A and B are shown apart, each in its own frame.
Chain A
Amino acid sequence: MCGDCGCQLAPAITSDVAPPLPGRATTILRGLLADNDQQAQRNRRHFDTLGVLVLNLMSSPGAGKTALLATSADMLRGEFTMAVIEGDLATDHDARRLRAHGIPAVQITTGNACHLDARMVHTALRQLDLTGVDLLFIENVGNLVCPASFDLGQHRNVVLLSTPEGDDKPAKYPVMFRAADLLLLSKSDLLPLLDDFDPARAEGCLRELANPAPVFSLSAKSGAGMQDWCGWLRASLIESSRYRHDNVHAPRRT
């Protein structure tokens, strides 16, 4: 058993493939990211044991992930206990900003890595006491490409698309937006200035990816739409505590 979080350590990965014959290919048929996926499953079991709902927050840099968390913490204080794992290339600015709002936040500085992986999250858990925590947010590195490929052990993917980025982003980054369990159109307070951003068009692009995820427009600055998001969090918590032990799902993969 792992001494840090009590999770079961991976059994040595062995393959039961037949011994190779000279000049013949040996069939493997294993996921390229199978090691990461195994660690992610261990993370998820650990979260389930503790009864924590874990949300992976993904977006471009500057779409407002940290602002969303800060405002959410202010609105949900007394109702839920939150904690955050922050992925950042170089600084701990976001973690400090969240601590100022009373949220325990652990920083993963990824250096040159453009995404978090399951092992980094597992390492970060050493520094985070999840006792009594209802919601753990993993704020991924700002990037609409790489984070989509790495399961971290989360229960839900939340993707933010800020209005200045343009409403066709789901069509341009299909892998990321296909993985979303919820799409938040952030910085909606700027909509009056941006006549070329149409929330309906953004939602249309998401449906073209065959993704039925709910779409909310919100502004962490003005508070508009924040109630929809908080309602979704409440519903997800209720649903997850009901299904936690038998039906926890990995990021959507078919």
Chain B
Amino acid sequence: MHELSLCRALLDQVSRLAAQHQARGVSRIRLTIGPLAGVEIALLRTAFPLSSRDSFAAGAILDIEETPLRVRCQGCGAISEVSLNQLRCRQCDDWRTQLISGDELLLRDVEFIMAAPAAEERAHVR
């Protein structure tokens, strides 16, 4: 259940970025997550609205882009699509492969809600 910790780490970063850009809020957050990142994506989706409720990112949409699992064989150099617990080369069957995609855990991009124009703000104050 470290998905809550991940949400906190995400919200810390996003809040800092929002403050830096003087944004009023955040409407959308996009993450890139690989199957070997150790994240249960369904749990993350459940945890996000709860942990962001009182934050800058309240109400933001969380988009998660999943990457494929790919390895490069250290023997024959072939690139294979593999499964979580079988990272063997699909060409020559060597187990000595290197993961080239599939363990990403990235904050990809954020859509900020920018401060209202000055005229609107004046109207609001009045």
Contact = CB atoms under 8 A, between A and B. Distances in A.
Best-buried of A28, A172, A176, A208 by chain B (most CB within 10 Å): A28
A168 B112 CA distance: 46
B111 A25 contact: yes
A208 B86 CA distance: 5
Nearest to A170: B85
Interface residues of A, number: 45
Interface in A111-151: 113-115, 117, 145-146, 148-150
B51 interface: no
Contacts of B47: none
Interface in A1-42: 13-15, 17, 19-20, 22-36
Contacts of B107: 28-32
A248 interface: no
A148 B38 contact: yes
Interface in B77-122: 84-88, 95-100, 103, 105-112, 114
B100 to A, nearest CB: 7
A96 interface: no
A15 B37 contact: no
Contacts of A207: 95
Given A34-B13, A254-B100, 19 more contacts: A15-B20, A20-B111, A23-B111, A25-B111, A26-B17, A28-B17, A28-B107, A29-B108, A31-B107, A33-B9, A113-B5, A146-B38, A175-B36, A207-B95, A208-B87, A210-B87, A210-B95, A212-B96, A253-B103
Contact of A149 (B38, B100, B111, B114): B38
B21 A20 contact: yes
Contacts of A172: 85
B108 to A, nearest CB: 6
Given A210-B71, A254-B99, A26 B111 contact: yes
Contacts of B100: 254
24 contacts: A15-B17, A20-B111, A25-B109, A26-B110, A27-B108, A28-B17, A31-B106, A32-B10, A32-B31, A32-B105, A32-B106, A33-B9, A33-B105, A35-B13, A149-B2, A149-B37, A149-B38, A170-B85, A174-B85, A207-B95, A208-B87, A208-B95, A209-B85, A210-B87
Nearest to A146: B2
Nearest to A21: B114
A73 interface: no
Interface of B: 1-2, 5-6, 9-10, 12-13, 16-17, 20-21, 23, 28, 30-31, 36-39, 71, 84-88, 95-100, 103, 105-112, 114
Interface string A223-254: 00000000000000000000000000000011
Contact of B38 (A145, A170, A205): A145
A150 B5 CA distance: 10
Contacts of B1: 114, 146
A210 B17 contact: no
A89 interface: no
Contacts of B88: 208, 210
B114 A20 contact: yes
A213 interface: no
A191 interface: no
A13 B9 CA distance: 13
B46 to A, nearest CB: 16
A175 B37 contact: yes
Contact of B16 (A13, A175, A176, A209): A13
